[in-house]
Structure 1
């Protein structure tokens, strides 16, 4: 399987985890020392903090989708993914969308997200 196909498959598995109550298992896709850089001033560090963030997000958002648009190898065992996301606000049904960048790192034969940053369209979070 190509690097691009591997990363796309991992991203779809990650999106499936985000679609479960409490985003069960979403943190497992991140490296132990990963960084999550959501819109706004606060950054999160580490798998546990990232899992807690996504668990809380499932209270407000539903039906998240991730669509990979580009994958490139940065260095051996390191890849950059660019994509788009979409979801719905549970309370209102309003659509939210934006772009993301994942930096993936291969650790002990497994690809893990090392850095996750996104921007939203129209000032959404």
Structure 2
């Protein structure tokens, strides 16, 4: 009985945090790689690479702000004030679905910002990204997110 209960626990707990990825595996892998690279760029304050992650006509929908359009506005959004650093940034997709040369993904993000005084701010939220395949690479076209109160 103990083994049966343990197996049921494993089955139900694994389904609670399961991911659903639908589409060509090579494209899924590229999107996942781009997600990881984006987080690295954010942590390194590599604004050029952040800009390259988006399409030329991209739009972002930051929490409590107007829609920002185009790479220049998007890059300016990501530039941190002097003395601030993103110490940790991770995007955790729940679902990725590829439909032709477009895809969407949604899930959760989390991070830690280091302030000039040495203190840290932890944050997390949920997001949706619409991707476009351009010249064999997947770029973010629409990027919307909002925070979750901790």
TM-score normalised over the length of structure 2: 0.73
Rg larger in structure: 2
TM-score normalised over the length of structure 1: 0.86
Equivalent runs, 1:1-125 vs 2, <5 Å: 2=25, 3-56=27-80, 60-62=84-86, 63-73=88-98, 75-91=99-115, 92-122=119-149
Question: CA offset at residue 71 of structure 1?
Answer: 0.3
Q: Is the Cα contact below 8 Å between 1:39 and 1:119 reproduced in 2?
A: yes
Q: Is the Cα contact below 8 Å between 1:22 and 1:56 reproduced in 2?
A: no
In structure 2, list runs of 5 or more residues that go unmatched.
1-23
Higher strand share: 1
In structure 1, list runs of 5 or more residues that go unmatched.
none
Distance 1:115 1:54 in 2: 15
- Alignment RMSD: 2.1
Matched residue of 2:63: which SS? coil
Distance 2:81 2:58 in 1: 18
Question: CA offset at residue 5 of structure 1?
Answer: 2.0
4+ long deviations beyond 3 Å = 57-61
Q: Is the Cα contact below 8 Å between 1:66 and 1:83 reproduced in 2?
A: yes
For these two proteins, the number of residue pairs brought into alignment is 122
